[in-house]
Amino acid sequence: MANNRMEANTPPPSVSPSIQTVTKTTKQKKRTSQWIWYIFLIPSFLGIILFMAYPIVESLRLSFFKSNGTIETFTGLDNFRTVLTSGPFWNAVWNTFFIGIFQVIITIPLGFIFATLINSASKGKNFFKVIYFLPNVTSIVAAAMIFQFVLHPEMGIVNFVLDSLGLPTPAWFSDPSTSKWGVILLAVWHWIGFVIIICIANLQAISKEMYEAAKIDGASSFQQWLFITIPNMGGTFAFLLITGWIGALQRFNEVYVLGGPNGSPARSIQTMGAFIYERGFTGFEFGIASAATYIMFLIILVFTFINLKISKLKL
């Protein structure tokens, strides 16, 4: 009896400490799991501090100094004044915008049309996808190298075709008045595959039911395209506009290959990126180049926000 009572009584006191230890360990575990997560983030945030935050702040500081990398003197807003009153800088802004605008307004509609054609094709869907995307996987540097010959005024295939069709043959990269169009052609050729792939991916995400409902109502396939497909692609067009435009503002590789750091002929294809490279790494005017990068950075940010506002995209 006594034993029984003992047994009956013993559990409660022995249970309660065990519960306590359990809650204690989970609390401890919670605390350890709190800090253990920061270990997961160490590599990335080390990178953010060293290669993102520090350079972006340091670049702003540098833009207030006259500097060649070793000797620095504070000059206030002089660098910004120099850049903003410099003809070559505004020329570079103009070139960048000109090429970028035409790249975007040609490639997005054209790419979209081909995406709908590929998407509705009954045969060879994958074949066309692969072919159309091929230019985009080749590096833009190699592409620029090829285009120097493709658009050669006398020996290039484009002018050969134009000539045999009886059309005028521009001098492309040899003439400052047509060289930007050469870069635009290259950009369209290189980017259209990307536009097509993104469009196809989003076309396939539009629900089939909408098309079926429209078919029952007797809508033609062109009407379906106009009233269902296009309105549903708004977000995609906005995304392409943003990525395309921001990429265009940073254009450098192909114009460097085609025209060198000063964008020859006659600075006609020098972009903002090339201007910064020219002042920073051929002239070693770090202060002026930094001021120019900040102006470019602000331009990019402004357009990013405008684009985000227009497209109501949530980032």
Partner 1 sequence: MNSSMSVKTMHRISEIFKFLVLLIFGVILMAPFIWMVSVGFDRTANITMPFPPRLIPEEPSSFNYGIVFENGRLIQSYINSTIVTVSSVVLSVSSSLLAGYAFSKGKFKGKKILFFIVLCTLMIPMEPRLIPLYTLFNSVGLLNTFWPLILPSIISGMLIFLCKQFFDQLPDTLREAAQIDGAGEFKIFFRVYLPLAGPIAATMIILSFIWSWNDFMWPLVVLNNIDLHTVPLYLASFSQENGSSLGGLTMALATVSILPIIILYLFLQRYIIQSIALSGVKGE
* Residues 116-145 within binding reach of partner 1 (CB under 8 A): 117-118, 120-124, 128-145
Cβ 10 to partner 1 shortest distance, Å: 28
Nearest-CA neighbor of 111 among 191, 181, 183? Answer: 191
Site for partner 1 in 190-219 (CB under 8 A): 192, 194, 197-198, 200-202, 205
**C-beta of 10 vs 61, nearer to partner 1:** 61
User: 48 CB contacts (<8 Å, ≥6 apart)?
Assistant: none
- Residue placing its CB nearer to partner 1 in the complex, 75 or 293: 293
Based on CB atoms, which residue is closest to partner 1, 91 or 148? 148
Residue 123 tokens read as 């045969």
CB distance 275 to 92 below 8 Å: yes
Stretch that binds partner 1, among 83-91, 100-108, 175-183, 187-195 (CB under 8 A): 187-195
The Cα 160–Cα 183 span in angstroms is 19
Q: Which of 5-13, 15-23, 78-86, 115-123 is the region at the interface with partner 1 (rule: CB under 8 A)?
A: 115-123
Question: What one-character DSSP code corresponds to residue 230?
Answer: H
Q: How far apart are CA 247 and CA 93, in angstroms?
A: 14
Nearer to partner 1, 109 or 235 (CB): 235
Q: How far is CA 64 from the centre of its chain?
A: 29
Pick the binder of partner 1 from 22, 36, 84, 213 (CB under 8 A): 36
The end-to-end CA distance of the chain, in Å, is 72
Determine which residue in the list 12, 13, 43, 231 makes contact with partner 1, applying CB under 8 A.
Answer: 43
> Quick one: 143 or 183, whose CB is closer to partner 1?
143
Give the residue with the Cβ less far from partner 1, 102 or 128: 128
CA 55, CA 48: separation in Å to the nearest integer?
A: 10
d(CA 284, CA 100): 28
Binding mask 232-271 for partner 1 (x = CB under 8 A): ---xx-xx---x--x---x-xx--xx--x-----------
Residues 6+ apart with CB under 8 A from 170: 153, 159, 178, 181
Q: Is 302 in the site for partner 1 (CB under 8 A)?
A: no
String marking each residue 274-293 x if it binds partner 1 according to CB under 8 A: --xx--xx----x--xx--x
Distance CA 250, CA 245 (A): 9
Report the nearest approach of partner 1 to the CB of residue 87 (Å): 20
Task: Report how far apart, in Å, the C-alpha atoms of 287 and of each of 75, 89, 125 are.
Answer: 9, 15, 52
Residue 6 or 65 having the CB closest to partner 1: 65
DSSP 173: G
Site residue total, partner 1 (CB under 8 A): 101
In the chain the beta strands, taken as DSSP E runs, fall at: 65-67, 72-74
Q: Which one of the spans 85-93, 95-103, 153-161, 223-231 is the region binding partner 1 (CB under 8 A)?
A: 153-161
Pairing of strands 72-74, 65-67: antiparallel
Q: Which stretch binds partner 1 (CB under 8 A): 2-10, 31-39, 78-86, 175-183?
A: 31-39
Q: Which of 21, 24, 84, 149 binds partner 1 (CB under 8 A)?
A: 149
Q: Which two tokens stand for residue 229?
A: 């497909």
